[in-house]
Amino acid sequence: MERCNLTKTMDVIGGKWKSVALFYMLERPRRFNEIKRLMPSITQRMLTLQLRELERDGLITRTVFPEVPPRVEYALTKLGRTLEPILDLLCAWGERHSQQVFDKREERVA
């Protein structure tokens, strides 16, 4: 069996924050505060860091609109958009199957 390339993908979108942020950008570009609101458990500092890495890796663009106050929008690049089928499946799996896992965890605690 050939060495799996999955590690490379996880090196790019691993951790839960990046994939969730990318998921929200599938629909449309998002402002920083909007993403922050959608992900209440991430700190501002951590979100900034994650978005900066996604930008560095060429998955998203950061656009500053010269308004008062300045508007900053994050949007998927063409490369970022190639993740769409993965993000959709990850979301669908969570919806269909994760409850089974959490029920099992509950049982062990009970």
Given the rule CB under 8 A, which residues bind its own copies? 1, 3-12, 14-16, 19-20, 23-24, 27, 38, 56-59, 79, 82-83, 85-87, 89-98, 100-102, 104-105, 108
Report the distance separating Cα 30 and Cα 26, nearest Å.
9
Q: Which is nearer to its own copies, 2 or 70 (CB)?
A: 2
Q: Please choose, from the candidates 5, 10, 3, 60, the residue with its C-alpha nearest in 3D space to the C-alpha of residue 35.
A: 60
CB of 7 to its own copies, least distance (A): 6
**Both tokens of residue 36?**
């922050």
- Measured CA to CA, the distance from residue 58 to residue 78 in angstroms comes to 9
C-alpha–C-alpha distance, residues 4 and 10, integer Å: 11
Residue whose CB is less far from its own copies, 24 or 32: 24
**Smallest distance, its own copies to C-beta of residue 24, A:** 7
Report in angstroms how near the CB of residue 9 gets to its own copies at its nearest. Answer: 4
